[in-house]
Amino acid sequence: MEQLNDLSDPQLIRKSIEAVLRLANTFKEQNGRVPVLMEVCGSHTMAFAKSGIKKRLKEHVRLIAGPGCPVCVTDQKSIDAMIKLTEGPKRIICTFGDMMRVPGSNFSLMEAKTEGKDIRVVYSPLDSIKIAEENPDQEVIFLGIGFETTIPILALTVHEAQKKELKNYSIWMTTKLVEPVLRVLLSSEDVNIDGFLLPGHVSVVMGKKNYEFLVEGFQMPGVITGFETIELLSGIYKILQLLIDKKVSIINDYKYVVKDEGNPVAQNLIKKYFDFHDEAWRGMSVISKSGLGFKREYAQFDAKRKFKVNVGEPRKTKCRCGEIIRGLITPEECVLFNKSCTPLRPIGPCMVSTEGTCAAYYQYMREV
């Protein structure tokens, strides 16, 4: 499986599935149970479901989704605050499309827009810079959610705003980092994982070295993998081989994209503008230094300092997205799934996001 010349070759995919099943059976003979692997990345979750791998391997390898979807891990109170932010005068809120339909305690950004709030979907944070230039009499605020994959472009956006000397531009930072949340998961008594399939996108920025703590602190193996079917199968195969051989290491199976040291240019850009902040995660409360916020010298671009937003405790629902992103339950175990919670009428973010576990199960794994 080293030479992946054709990522969509059906014959190679069939052979890879057979190879994975052989190793899964060996693991079961050794341990008396199926292996449990967590795919950290929301894009991996969707790719596993869409390719049919999760369904095909269901009885042999338990693949559970992790906290790697930026929309899904944003806690309810933060969403309420972002919606409240739209209520101020002379404000234009810019966001990625996924956030528009995520329900807050009372309504969503989409519903706020229908009530006349100026909320605009952009494809890149840099698009919001142009909007700020075109509307100098309005405050333009970008909702900055995302992991290490997105944070460099946020830093680049601040750089552009600074260069253009924009006074009416800021970012509402609600970013998340992978390492702190994996530490919390592995320290939790109710999460049992044999290994991680590590996110390709985050790894492009942070590199293989970013995961050394898994080996040193937790004796946990991991494989960095891509998003094509054959890449996903290769990642599973290699982690199963590590488990069977009782070896603990991090394998970079995405070498043509990910370097051991990551992308130093992007890392330095992040370090220039941001430092560590505590962040609240859906279903996991506040995790110390698990996100990034503005350094004091760039406070003029920090929407959280610029605009005071107060919201109460969020309205409780029966949504179990918090447990789903920790891998404790599958979407079918939530009483709302495919009943009162569907893509047309979502109750939790995991049903809304294009990387959400509930959306993946609804589209590709649901029994109809």
Spatial CB neighbours of 7, under 8 Å, sequence gap ≥ 6: 228, 229, 230, 231
Tokens of 52: 């049919």
Taking each helix axis from N to C end, the angle separating 10-31 and 229-244, rounded to the nearest 10 degrees, works out to: 20
Q: What is the mean pLDDT of residues 236-251?
A: 98
For the ranges 57-61, 206-210, 278-282, 315-319, the lowest mean pLDDT is seen at 315-319
pLDDT at 3 over 80: no
Q: What pLDDT score does 368 carry?
A: 61
Q: Please state, for a pLDDT cut of 70, what percent of the chain lies above it.
A: 98
Mean pLDDT of the chain: 93
List 169's β-bridge partners, or say none.
140
In this predicted structure, the answer to whether residue 1 has a pLDDT above a threshold of 60 is no
- pLDDT attached to residue 149: 94
For residue 365, the model assigns a pLDDT of: 84
pLDDT of 190 over the 90 cut: no
Q: What is the pLDDT of residues 109-134, one digit of tens each?
A: 999 999 999 999 999 999 999 999 99
Task: Return the pLDDT at 5.
Answer: 56
Instruction: Please state the three-class secondary structure of 284-341 as a single string.
Output: CEEEEEEEEEECHHHHHHEHHHHCCCCCCCCCCCCCCHHHHCCCCCCHHHCCCECCCE
pTM for the model: 0.92
pLDDT at site 6: 66
